[in-house]
Amino acid sequence: MVEDEESITEPLAEALDREGFETSVAGTVADALESARREPPDLVLLDVMLPDGSGYDVCRELRRDSEVPIIMLTARGEETDRIVGLELGADDYVVKPFSAREVVARIRAVLRRSAGGREDGPGGPLEVAELQLDPARRSATLGGEELELTRREFELLELLMREAGSVVTRERLIDEVWDVNWFGSTKTLDVHVSSLRRKLGEDPAQPRFIHTVRGVGFRLAGPDEL
């Protein structure tokens, strides 16, 4: 837990302890990064406003070489702040004030998704025009160039590529890429799709790969269309 307010860390740590979690607390960016290097955590609860910097810096550094689940805990609830956290690779975003019960529920949902993966395991490599994805290697390339995708972006792209040419509903995307018990806003899906489009070099006005089907979901163009 990366948080400098004892009024939050103490009761939340106690609640997590009762639920069977072992929690360590860091109050600064420096302490958080050192703690994560010394003993890699299974999940990070991360505040944005810290004495020596921003939780976004912690998220960015962790994502350089780790896919550890990250839940942002912050009083900053504006949409732009949520978008920044999610685009940096956070898995969920909880706005203060929150209940310990809600945080525990979100932790369990995120850990289920992170640990479980797809029930049938990774499938074979996928290719749609010059877009290639290998689930086993967790790699995706466009025209031979490696794409730097977050875990969520990778799984979104994988699902859309498996269903290339067909519409994938918003509900299915959220259920399979997040969790059937997802507590967050569906806006999270739009943020990740938008980020994925940018990494694919898409023109928002005339997307080539990922098309929005209003009121239903998204569709990756099939090979014959490309």
SS3 144: coil
Structure tokens at 46: 């991360």
Report how far residue 91's alpha carbon sits from residue 188's, in angstroms, rounded to the nearest whole number.
9
**Mean pLDDT score of the chain, rounded to an integer?**
86
Distances (CA, A) of 16 to 66, 96, 99, 104, 105: 23, 17, 12, 7, 11
Report how far residue 222's alpha carbon sits from residue 226's, in angstroms, rounded to the nearest whole number.
7
Which residue segments constitute the domains of the chain, with CATH numbers given? 6-116 (3.40.50.2300), 126-220 (1.10.10.10)
Going through the chain in order, the beta strands assigned E by DSSP cover 44-47, 49-50, 53-54, 70-74, 92-95, 126-128, 131-134, 139-142, 145-146, 167-169, 210-213, 217-220
Across the beta sheet with 167-169, the strand order is 167-169, 217-220, 210-213
Residue type, 169: T
Determine the pLDDT at residue 105.
82
List Cβ neighbours of 100 (8 Å cut-off, separation of 6 or more). 11, 12, 15, 16
For the residues 176-190, what does the mean pLDDT come to?
67
Determine the pLDDT at residue 184.
54
Q: What angle do CA 90, 93, 98 make, to 5 degrees?
A: 150
pLDDT digits (tens, 9 = 90+) for 149-182: 988 899 999 999 999 999 999 888 887 887 644 5
Q: Give percent of the chain with pLDDT exceeding 70.
A: 91
Q: Is the pLDDT reported for residue 183 higher than 60? A: no
Q: What is the 3-state secondary structure (H, E, C) of 74-88?
A: ECCCCHHHHHHHHHC
Binned at pLDDT 50, 70 and 90, residue 123 comes out as: low
For the residues 122-150, what does the mean pLDDT come to?
90
pLDDT digits (tens, 9 = 90+) for 39-48: 999 999 999 9
Determine the pLDDT at residue 70.
94
Determine the pLDDT at residue 213.
92
For the residues 204-221, what does the mean pLDDT come to?
91
Binned at pLDDT 50, 70 and 90, residue 130 comes out as: very high
Q: Is the pLDDT reported for residue 120 higher than 60? A: no
For the residues 114-133, what does the mean pLDDT come to?
74
Structure tokens at 41: 């955590």
Q: Is the pLDDT reported for residue 121 higher than 70? A: no
For the residues 1-24, what does the mean pLDDT come to?
91
Contact, 203 vs 193, CB < 8 A?
no
Q: Is the pLDDT reported for residue 116 higher than 70? A: no
pTM of the complete model beyond 0.85? no
* H helix intervals, 69-166: 79-87, 100-116, 151-162
Closest CA to 144 of 130, 163, 154: 130
Structure tokens at 196: 């994925």
pLDDT digits (tens, 9 = 90+) for 61-89: 999 888 899 998 877 666 777 778 878 88
Determine the pLDDT at residue 187.
76
For the residues 47-54, what does the mean pLDDT come to?
92
Determine the pLDDT at residue 86.
79
Determine the pLDDT at residue 180.
47
